[in-house]
Amino acid sequence: ILLSPVAGATGDNKIERRASRDVVLYGFGRIGRLIARLLIEKAGSGNGLRLRAIVVRRGSGQDIVKRASLLRRDSIHGQFQGTITVDEANNKIIANGNEIQMIYSDDPREVDYTAYGIKDAILIDNTGRWRDREGLSNHLRPGIAKVVLTAPGKGDVPNIVHGVNHDTVKPDERILSCASCTTNAIVPPLKAMADEYGVLRGHVETVHSYTNDQNLLDNYHGSDRRGRSAALNMVITETGAASAVAKALPELKAPITGSSIRVPVPDVSIAILSLRLERETTREEVLDYLRNVSLASPLKRQIDFISAPDAVSSDFIGSRHASIVDAGATKVDGDNAILYLWYDNEFGYSCQVIRVVQHVSGVEYPTFPAPAV
């Protein structure tokens, strides 16, 4: 059999490779470790993003061994897919052959990243300790080119939801936020609905898994209700997701309100998005539209669609989408629509952060078919 040569075999039309871009993680909690897994997962080719360092406060005992163990095993997301070893003498974690420097510091202004061979890096702040431009500017040390916050930004810090407004980031912008997991869950479907039907007003109620800022058992807490046991109660709390919509989707003039209830599950949340539309429609029309959006639109990496009648929260652990439309729960009555949107508030959000970092770094992994221009 005579086979014709193809581009992949001859090297014709090959993708131009760029040098890798250094990445630093500031903080190594739930989101930090998942972002680390994603960065290591994509590091095999030696191109793209390269995790160079992790900055944390030094803990007691075998700090680096404990942190490596938390990266290796996770009660929710399972085992790390690969090998992890520790070089205690040099404060390094070696993950799938990638050397990651552990830097101990209590103050971002004290770190000189060039001393570790790091240059032009993107620093991802996973602590949420600083949320305004002044505080986040402390990270702009030698070796750091840009700062990305994994929490809602305050003041004039741009809040970016990939797929919706990532193309508005200016090339010279050095500080930006990826907003919150809930903002990333509601803004893409909200944009989709606004584009097709128009939105007059809306309310989002999130039923959210508990997080580390709550107490395991009743104890003092600076917040009104988060001091009560996360494992034993449904806890009403505030969410900034509704107000963040205006930053990510400024063309939407409709008022959006929001509130949240924390519930005793460790991961995966659901946002109930209730909308008053500009025109009447039907449930079938809305579902057909959202299914098509999830399959063949610029939002297909953000929005997933499921019609399984027995889907529950644990089914969406590990989802790489920002939001999953539950078709069976969707309700439409004239100009009122209620969407039930599942989201892995840890892993799905971390994937959105990586997409933003890829965009601002100038490193975009090729996807096929290529998006329409």
Taking 90 as the threshold, does the pLDDT of residue 14 lie above it?
no
Q: What is the mean pLDDT of residues 156-185?
A: 95
Taking 60 as the threshold, does the pLDDT of residue 15 lie above it?
no
Read off φ and ψ for residue 75, nearest 5 degrees.
Answer: -65, -25
14-18, 115-119, 300-304: which has the minimum mean pLDDT? 14-18
Taking 90 as the threshold, does the pLDDT of residue 350 lie above it?
yes
**Which residues make Cβ contacts (< 8 Å) with residue 336, sequence separation at least 6?**
274, 275, 276, 277
Short-list 259, 124, 119, CA closest to 182:
259
* pLDDT tens-digit readout, 248-286: 999 999 999 999 999 999 999 999 999 999 999 999 999
pLDDT of amino acid 47: 65
CA distances from 355 to 42, 166, 302, 305 (A): 12, 9, 10, 20
Short-list 316, 331, 320, CA closest to 353:
320
Whether residue 273 contacts residue 204, with contact meaning beta carbons closer than 8 Å, is answered with yes
As a whole number of angstroms, the distance between CA 347 and CA 340 comes to: 19
For the chain, the farthest-separated pair of C-alpha atoms sits apart, in whole angstroms, at 76
Band the pLDDT of 103: cuts 50, 70, 90: very high
pLDDT of amino acid 44: 64
Domains recognised in the chain with CATH numbers: 21-151 (3.40.50.720), 182-346 (3.30.360.10)
* pLDDT tens-digit readout, 288-338: 999 999 999 999 999 999 999 999 999 999 999 999 999 999 999 999 999
As a whole number of angstroms, the distance between CA 285 and CA 292 comes to: 11
pLDDT of amino acid 1: 46
Band the pLDDT of 357: cuts 50, 70, 90: very high
Taking 60 as the threshold, does the pLDDT of residue 351 lie above it?
yes
Active-site residues: which are they?
181
As a whole number of angstroms, the distance between CA 57 and CA 360 comes to: 27
* pLDDT tens-digit readout, 18-63: 678 999 999 999 999 999 999 998 876 556 899 999 999 998 889 9
Q: What is the mean pLDDT of residues 76-86?
A: 95
pTM: 0.92
Band the pLDDT of 372: cuts 50, 70, 90: low
* pLDDT tens-digit readout, 189-243: 999 999 999 999 999 999 999 999 999 999 999 988 999 999 999 999 988 787 7
Strand 323-326 to 331-343 pairing: antiparallel
Q: What is the mean pLDDT of residues 126-134?
A: 94
Work out the number of other CB atoms within 10 angstroms of the CB of residue 270: 23
CA distances from 110 to 6, 79, 104, 274 (A): 53, 34, 10, 47
pLDDT of amino acid 3: 45
